[in-house]
Amino acid sequence: MTDGANMGYLIYGMIAVGAGLMVFNVINFARFMKRTNDVLSGNRLRDRVWTVTAFILLTFFLAGYILVAAFGKPDLLMSMILFGGSVFVSIVNHLMIKLIETVKERSIDVAEVIIGAVDARDPNLNGHSRHVQNLTMKLYSYLPPHLKKELDPVNLEYAALMHDVGKLGIPESILNKPGKLTEEEWTTMRMHPKIGTEILHPLHSFERIMPWILYHHERIDGKGYYSVAGNDIPLAARIIAIADTYSAITMRRSYKDPRTHEDAFRIIAEVAGTQLDAELVSIFLTIPKEELLACAPPKIDIESSDII
C-alpha cells in the first residue's frame, strides 16, 4: 500500500469521524432545545433566536462535511481542521448542556428550601408539598404517551412543588388552627391558589404553570374553588389534584389521624368522575403501593405497616 493511499485513508477517516460527531452534535443540540422549553430556561424570544441560529449553524457545518467528502478534494490540513472543529463543538455542546442541567438541579434545591419555609409555617403540612411533588411525578411516569407529550416534566414538577406557595399569604392563626375552620376562615384559605400565582407573577417564565397552580383545587363536576369543570381544568392541575388528595388523606394533621393507603385508594376511587379526573384516577390506582409509599419525604410521620 502506497503512502498516498494511506494518506487518503487518514484524510477521509478523519472527515468520516468528524461527520459522525457532527451528526451526534446536531441530534444532541435538538434534544437540548426541547429541554430548554420550561420554567427554568425562561424560553425568551431572544434566547430562542440564538438557539435556533446555533442549530442552523451546526446543520450547515454538517452539510459542509458531506459536501467536502462528496465533491471536494480535501488535503490533510483541511481534514484536520474539520475534525478538530467537530471535536471542539462536541466539547462545548457537552459543557453547555451539563451547565444547564446543573443550574436546574440547583434551582429545584432552592425551590425546595422556599417550600420548606411554607411548610414550617403550618405544622399540618409537614412535608406535604414535597410529598405532592413526588406523587405527581410518579403519576406522570405512568401516563400513556399521548398524555405525557402534553406536559413538560420540569414544569409539572415545579407546579406540584409550588402548588401551596400561596399559603405564605394566609394568616398563621388559620393555618395553625387545631380544629375545623369557620366559613369565613375557609373563604380566606381558598385564596391561597390565587395568592400563589401573585407571588410567582414576577417570574415571567412561570406564567405557563400559573393556571396549573391556580386550578389545582378545581373539581371535575365544577364545584371547586373557581367553578372550572371537566377538561377545562388543565391536565397538570388534574394530576396535582390527585396527588394532593392522596397526600391529604394519608398525612397526619393536628385535627385528624392519617388514613391508610387502602383507605386513600378507596376514597379516591369513590370521587373519580366527580371530584377527580376518572381517567387519571384509573392510572393512579395501578401504581404499586410500595412505589407510592416511597414518595413520602422523611418529615412525614407515617405508620410503617400502613401508609404515608
Closest residue by Cα to residue 103 from 114, 92, 113, 111: 111
Report pLDDT digits (tens) over 126-173.
688 889 999 999 999 999 999 999 998 988 999 999 998 898 888 888
Give the model's pLDDT for residue 59.
86
Per the prediction, the chain carries an average pLDDT of 84
Residue of 177, 195, 193 lying closest to 185 (CA atoms) = 177
Does the structure show a pLDDT above 80 at 44? no
What's the mean pLDDT in 60-85? 80
> How far is 107 from 99, CA to CA, in rounded Å?
12
Q: For residue 194, indicate whether it is catalytic.
A: no
Mean predicted confidence (pLDDT) in 42-59: 74
Within 10 angstroms of residue 97's Cβ, the number of other Cβ atoms is: 16
Helix axes 235-250, 261-270, angle to 10 degrees: 140
Q: What pLDDT score was predicted for residue 90?
A: 87
Q: With 70 as the cut, is the pLDDT of residue 213 above it?
A: yes
Ramachandran category for residue 13: left, alpha or beta (phi over 0 → left; psi -120 to 50 → alpha): alpha
Among 55-69, 133-147, 188-202, 225-239, the range scoring the smallest mean pLDDT is 55-69
Residue 272, SS3 per DSSP? strand
Answer whether 25's CB lies under 8 Å from 90's CB.
yes
pLDDT of residue 247: 93
Q: Is residue 300 very low, low, confident or very high in pLDDT (cuts 50, 70, 90)?
A: very low
- 211 pLDDT band, cuts 50/70/90, is very high
pLDDT of 278 reads 97
Q: Which of 73, 149, 167, 256 is catalytic?
A: 167
Which of 87-101, 141-155, 232-246, 283-297 is the least confident region? Answer: 87-101
What integer is the mean pLDDT of 22-38? 78
The pLDDT of residue 194: 94
Q: Which of 69-73, 167-171, 275-279 has the highest mean pLDDT?
A: 275-279
pLDDT, tens digit, 9 for 90 and up, residues 281-297: 999 999 999 999 999 88
